[in-house]
Structure 1
């Protein structure tokens, strides 16, 4: 079974994304602690897509799909007509590097990769797909 949710690219809609993720994971009987970690990772990717790929344009949207395949939960975040970002190929800086350079941000995708068992990126002509996998 697949659960889908379409949401505007306004960051004010991230609470809606978090609720959808937690409700869906609850219906899939994912333990609460695990569900909160997964929600954190999905929230980070959705926020990055909304902010960096869509500039928080309320008329743009993403589609979040959640499914359980065997012992894994699979999240797909699709965005349309925007420049994508290869999160799978992104080599996140260490915390020390971030501190030394005085850089703001940069830990989110590192956190996503630590929480998830797998991260994929697919770029198609009119959309990008970000896939996150976690064995539960």
Structure 2
């Protein structure tokens, strides 16, 4: 079964996104660890779309689709703004350097890549789409 949510590009909607994902997954008898991993990964990608791709422009929106196909969870986050947002290739950040420099931020996509089995960004027309998948044993 598929479930869809549309939200405006505002940080104020991040809790709504987290609740939507959690409610969808809670009804499928998954472990709390898996549910928390997916909620965190989706929250990070949605926040990146809202902040970096759309500059928190509430006139823009994101479509979030969740679907479970046999043993795989598939999440699609589609940006309907006019800016193409394709993060660069994933590189594991040097945690020691981050700590020494006192840096904040920049760790989110590394975390998403660790939490999910597959993370893909691509364009559909003039919109950016992120597809996340996780195998549910």
Fold match (TM-score > 0.5): yes
For the aligned residue pairs, the C-alpha RMSD in angstroms reads 1.5
Q: In terms of mean alpha carbon deviation, does 75-84 or 10-19 score higher?
A: 75-84
* Residue 30 (structure 1) shift: 2.0
* Residue 97 (structure 1) shift: 3.0
- Judging changes above 3 Å, is the alpha-carbon distance between structure 1 residues 55 and 92 closer, same or farther for their aligned structure 2 residues? farther
**Structure 1: where are the runs of 5+ without partners?**
none
For 2:69 and 2:38, locate their aligned partners in 1 and report how far apart those are by CA, in whole Å: 16
Q: In terms of mean alpha carbon deviation, does 61-70 or 29-38 score higher?
A: 29-38
For 1:93 and 1:106, locate their aligned partners in 2 and report how far apart those are by CA, in whole Å: 8
For 1:76 and 1:97, locate their aligned partners in 2 and report how far apart those are by CA, in whole Å: 33
- Asked whether the 8 Å contact 1:50–1:56 carries over to 2, the reply is yes
Q: Which runs of 4+ in 1 moved over 6 A?
A: none
Residues 48-67 of structure 1 mapped to structure 2, 5 A cutoff: 48-67=48-67
Alignment TM-score, normalising by the size of structure 1: 0.91
* Residue 90 (structure 1) shift: 2.6
For 1:82 and 1:104, locate their aligned partners in 2 and report how far apart those are by CA, in whole Å: 25
Report the 3-state secondary structure (helix = DSSP H, G, I; strand = E; otherwise coil) of the residue aligned with 1:44.
helix
Indicate the residue corresponding to 2:98 in structure 1.
98
Residues 1-136 of structure 1 mapped to structure 2, 5 A cutoff: 1-80=1-80, 81-86=82-87, 89-136=89-136
* Residue 117 (structure 1) shift: 0.8
